[in-house]
Chain A
Amino acid sequence: MADKRTVIRTKPPLWTRIKTQKFLLLMLVPGLIWYLLFKYLPLLGLSLGFTDYGFRSKVSFVGLENFSRLLSSTIFWNAFRNTLVISMANIVFYFPAPLIVALLINELKSLKAKRFIQFLIYIPYFFSWVVVGSIFVNLLSPSSGLVNNIITKLGGESIYFMASAKFFRPVLVSSYIWRQMGYGAVIYVASLTTVQPELYEAATIDGAGHWGQLWHVTLPGIRSTIVTMLLLNLSHVLLIFEQVLVMYNAAVYDVADVLQTYVFREGVLAGDLGYSIAVGMFTSIVSLTLVLSTNKISARFLDEPIL
């Protein structure tokens, strides 16, 4: 209420406001400089994607040459295909996992058990990709790993998971789920507590069983969280990078090289800056289009868009 009154009152002139807020504005300065340097200056750097920047001392404008080069590069198309396949697999297998686990946790009666499980499955989220990757290397090691131990005990042959074109993508997806699931589950559990208990009572009176309640009360009650999580996932899914960079190796480039690792190799390691910026720009634009269109579609199901 008090806020409204201050808005109605005419504001003092800008200069006076700046003078009275000098300390506040001073506090903003370091952060603003940081955003300009490390978030907005790189945006200007995108224009180098239209140049041959990198090898020669003289930079010249080449128009869309970098883009036509990428469209005719088989390595680029391979990376693009891998990115789409891995992203699809991540969305299909990873996205429902935290929701299902959260619903299971929600059914537990013991508060202690609820807390313990959330505590436990949230731990890997704080491990680096190097640690998570290492844990999987250890688990999947052909001679000493637990998984191959079980396989050989059951009479199978040891599998070289990390070097196998067939198994590398499933390894990526499962390690992704292992690390990220707890984060999503914890958010869903918190969101489930906001569903009003009266709604369940009303549903019971209307004759809804447990599945009916799940379908008509629980899921609609957390739909905005579900859509937010979907958008969050979609916004990084095509930008998958560090996990692959840590876990891949030359033996699986064919199935594991994604757009971002391709950019990294072409740009940082090979020094072809202009071209790699063009590839990166392509990735960013496709990713942004995906997020914005999902946001638009979701806005029709929700009262308001998430973004």
Chain B
Amino acid sequence: MTTTIRESRSRKLFHIINALLLGFICLIFIIPIWNVLITSVAKDVDVMGTDYLLMPRSFTLQNYWRVLNSGYMGAFKNSLFVAFLGTAFSMLITVPMGFALAQKHLVGRSVIMKAIVFTMVFDAGIMPFYIVVRSLGLINSMGAIIFPVAISTFNLIIIKNYMASIPVSLIESATLDGCNDMMILLRIVLPLSVSIIAAVTLFYFVSYWNRYFEVIMFINDSRKYTLQVVLRSLMFESDESLGGGQYVYNNLKMAVMVLGMLPVLVIYPFVQRHFVSGLMLGGVKG
């Protein structure tokens, strides 16, 4: 009797410690983001020379207004352009390919799958990739940040695995009704795959939005820079510990940063569960 009571007591203690630990972990994730958000809506007087850490002291949208009327808007528009166009292009080639690879009777299926998985294991590296993009004449064009990264093998495999799990009988009966493969994809498979399509669309959107090194590698014209590139130079080149020259108020910097994370903050809460199921489907095994 006494042992069970003691054990349940130690369990209780364990649960309290566990909750405290996880609470602490949550703070590690909340505080840095919270600080960015509250600083981005702070007035100049509140961030000048004083600490602005956890307690918001003012609220103004003035910083966003300034960003809206500054050169950062050009980069923001470029990012939107690349993200929307890139995502559309990626989906347009990834979905049909995933569908075709999901059909077990496809001619050459296993060879193609092996060739695709191989590219995940062995990558030629940055420079051969750069040389290919350069010889295609894409340097300094927006196409350079879309076409070379249009397919993510991970996303392709997620779609392929999901579509392969759709019962074959549905597809077979549609074939008997005289549907060709194009019609089967559009009328039967796509309506059944809405949630996975949504997840992959967002994976692509976020990956285009977040791209940095491809942009600085392929784009030299600063008018074509995306938000991530200008955010990087704003945050790192004006940082005092790195001997930055011009002084930019922190509230303005944080407003640009919020723009940089905007798609994630806006879209993520609605699709989180799709992200999780998508990740599970994309297991390494093809």
Residues of A participating in the B interface, judged by any CB pair closer than 8 Å? 2-3, 6, 14, 17-18, 21, 23-25, 27-28, 30-32, 34-35, 37-46, 48, 101, 104-105, 107-109, 113, 117-124, 126-131, 133-139, 141-144, 146, 149, 160-163, 178, 182-183, 186-187, 190, 210, 228, 231-232, 235, 239, 241-242, 245-247, 249, 251, 260, 263-264, 267-268, 273, 276-277, 280-281, 283-284, 288, 291, 306-307
Contacts and interface: CB of A to CB of B under 8 A. Distances in A.
A231 B242 contact: no
A184 B222 CA distance: 36
B235 to A, nearest CB: 4
Given A138-B254, A268-B130, A124 B125 contact: no
A146 B128 contact: no
Interface stretch (B63-71, B101-109, B193-201): B101-109
B280 A190 contact: yes
Contacts of A6: 105
Interface of B: 11, 14-15, 18-19, 21-22, 25-26, 28-33, 35-36, 39, 47, 51-54, 92-94, 96-97, 99-101, 103-107, 112, 115-116, 119, 121-132, 136, 147-151, 156, 168-169, 180-182, 185, 206, 209-213, 217, 228-229, 231-232, 235-236, 239-242, 250, 253-254, 257, 260-261, 264, 268-269, 272, 275-276, 279-280, 283-285
A126 B272 CA distance: 11
B81 to A, nearest CB: 17
Contact of A45 (B54, B128, B149, B211): B128
A109 to B, nearest CB: 8
B181 A24 contact: yes
14 contacts: A27-B185, A31-B96, A35-B116, A39-B124, A43-B124, A45-B124, A121-B29, A122-B276, A126-B264, A131-B260, A137-B239, A146-B54, A162-B242, A277-B125
A144 B130 contact: no
Contact of A35 (B115, B211, B229): B115
A14 B107 CA distance: 8
A157 B53 CA distance: 19
Contacts of B30: 120
B284 A307 contact: yes
Contacts of A119: 269, 272
A277 B129 CA distance: 10
A42 B148 CA distance: 11
A239 B29 CA distance: 26
Contacts of A133: 232, 235-236
Contacts of A127: 210, 261, 264
Given A34-B93, A45-B131, A130 B26 contact: no
Given A23-B180, A27-B100, A149-B53, A142 B116 contact: no
Given A28-B112, A178-B29, 18 more contacts: A17-B105, A24-B181, A27-B100, A38-B129, A38-B147, A40-B115, A109-B15, A122-B272, A130-B210, A131-B231, A137-B235, A142-B241, A144-B250, A163-B241, A178-B28, A210-B14, A245-B212, A268-B126
B26 A273 contact: no
Contacts of A232: 284
A281 to B, nearest CB: 7
A302 to B, nearest CB: 12
A238 to B, nearest CB: 11
Given A23-B182, A38-B132, A127-B264, A135 B124 contact: no
